[in-house]
Each structure stands twice: as structure tokens, then as C-alpha cells.
Amino acid sequence: MASLMNAMVDTPAIGATFDLATQPLRELNRFLHRDLAGTRAVRVLNPDGAHNIAVGVDAPVDVDIDGHAGYYAGGMNKQAHITIHGNTGPGVGEGMSSGAIHVKGFASVAAGASAHGGLLVIDGDASLRCGISMKGIDIVVGGSVGDYSAFMAQAGTLVICGDAGDGLGDSLYEAVIYVRGSVKSFGADAHEEPMSEADIAALGALLKAAGMSHDPKTFRRVASMRGLYHWNADANQEY
């Protein structure tokens, strides 16, 4: 329990605090993987843009990161609820399979990349390729997303409360996008479809879970035309 002793433990059974200005990242992640033993909350001070904070956690613990995080914050998360009180670098929540990540600021490229499940909420904007290759995660972006968001997205839902850049939903599989603002352009095989009652209900539940108050009826649904599912020589590669 060396790492536990290094952690400034507020109340051992409930919460622990790590200060990345004085403690190495390795100690934090090791604690989160191995030494939680009933700890329900972990606070991370002075993250200062460090990469790989709280990656690979597999426990129902609340992690609060007090500041900006670098690459892959909360990467491959399971069960944990991670809140980033700042901005994040590339690949926040990449590969996560359950739990939740809440970015209070902005997110860089590839947010929620290839993630299988859980909920990723970004209060601000997300950059390029938000939700790339997503495989079942739900992502709610309070602001706008950059180009090629939901590229090759396979499953899950991407909610964009602001605008989308070029190539939205390029080569989409079965993931669904709801967008409230403008779309600069759709990517290959993506198109707008009518909103059904089921869409409105599902979107309403997601917005509620994300703490957003928009009316689901003000969103549009974007999904795959399924025209690229089978390789077609006659398409002349004009995707």
C-alpha cells in the first residue's frame, strides 16, 4: 500500500487526493487500478495537461481532474465517472466501454475514438474527428464539432448541439448523429433522415443525462445511406 500512503488520504474509505505537481502519474494510475479498496472518490490536482490521466480504470469511482488534461484522459475507461474541470487533449475517453466522462471545457481531436460504450459529455466544442470509429458510445457535445466527425462510426450516438464541420459522418455504419446547428457538408454515404418519435425519445434521454436543456425537436438526424456496405465497382470510387 505504498501508493496509498503517498496519496494524501482525506478519508480512507471515501476519498483520496493526488497532486500531480508532486506525485508521478504512475502512482495515480496504479492506485486507480489496484489500491482503490472501497475508495469512492479521487481528486487529481495540478494535472497541468499531463497525458494518460486515469486510463484503464475498471471500478465505480468518481475521479475529478482539477484542470486541463492531455492526451487520452480516461482512455479505455470502465465504470468510472471522470470529470475534467478544464480542456482535454486528443482521444479523451478513447476505447472506453462503460462509465462516464464529463469534459467541462473543450476537447481536442478524436474525442471518444473507437469507444464501445458509456457516456462522454463535452460542454464546449470538440475538434476534428470527434467520435471517429465509435463502436457504441454515446457522445454529447454542447458546442460544435470539427471536420470528419463520426468518421467510420459503427455504433452509438453522437449528439452535436452546435454546428458540424466538413465531411460529417463519412463512411458511417450504424451509428446515429443528431445535430442541432448547421452542417458544413456531409461525408460519403451520410445523409439527413426524418426524426421519428423514437429518435426524439432517445435524444431527449441523452440530453437529459448530459445535463443539456435543448428541445430534442430542434435536432436533425444523420445516418448512413448504407451505400458503401458492399464494394461496388460501378461507384468509380466517387465517394
Partner 1 sequence: MNKPVEFHKCMQLEESWGYDRKTLDYIHNASAHGLYEIRGLGAKRRVPHFDDLVFLGASLSRYALEGYRERCDTRTVLGTRFASKPIELAIPITIAGMSFGALSANVKEALGRAATDMGTSTTTGDGGMTREERQSSKTLIYQCLPSRYGFNPDDVRRADAIEVVIGQGAKPGGGGMLLGQKVNPRVAKMRTLPEGVDQRSACRHPDWTGPDDLTIKIQELREITDWEKPIYVKVGATRTLHDVKLAVHAGADVIVVDGMQGGTAATQTVFIEHVGIPTLAAVRQAVQALEELNMKDTVQLIVSGGIRTGADVAKALAMGADAVAIGQGVLMALGCNHDSYFQNGAQHSAVEDYAALGTAPGYCHHCHTGKCPVGVTTQDAVLEQRLDPAVGARHVRNYLKTLNMELTTIARACGKQDVHHLEREDLVALTVEAAAMAGQPLAGTDWVPGR
Kindly list the residues in this chain that would bind partner 1 in the complex (CB under 8 A): 25-26, 29-30, 33-34, 51-52, 55-56, 58, 70-72, 75-78, 90-91, 94-95, 97, 109-110, 113-114, 116, 129, 132-133, 135-136, 151-152, 154-155, 173-174, 229-231, 233-234
Count of C-beta atoms within a 10 Å radius of residue 21: 10
Under 8 Å between Cβ of 11 and 38: no
Nearer to partner 1 by Cβ, of 72 and 186: the residue is 72
Nearer to partner 1 by Cβ, of 78 and 220: the residue is 78
Q: How far is the CB of 2 from partner 1 (least distance, A)?
A: 14
Question: Which residues face 56 on adjacent strands?
Answer: none
AA identity, residue 153: A
Closest CA to 145 of 117, 115, 170: 170
CA 124 to chain CA centroid, nearest Å: 12
Under 8 Å between Cβ of 46 and 67: yes
Nearer to partner 1 by Cβ, of 3 and 207: the residue is 3
Nearer to partner 1 by Cβ, of 103 and 110: the residue is 110
Nearer to partner 1 by Cβ, of 57 and 207: the residue is 57
Q: How far is the CB of 74 from partner 1 (least distance, A)?
A: 11
| 3-state SS, residue 90 | coil
Closest CA to 139 of 213, 207, 72, 85: 207
Q: How far is the CB of 110 from partner 1 (least distance, A)?
A: 4
H-helix or E-strand containing 210? helix 197-210
Q: How far is the CB of 152 from partner 1 (least distance, A)?
A: 6
Dihedral sign from CA coordinates of 41, 44, 49, 54: negative
Q: How far is the CB of 169 from partner 1 (least distance, A)?
A: 15
Q: How far is the CB of 59 from partner 1 (least distance, A)?
A: 12
Q: Which cell is 136 given? A: 457504441
Nearer to partner 1 by Cβ, of 148 and 219: the residue is 148
AA identity, residue 195: M
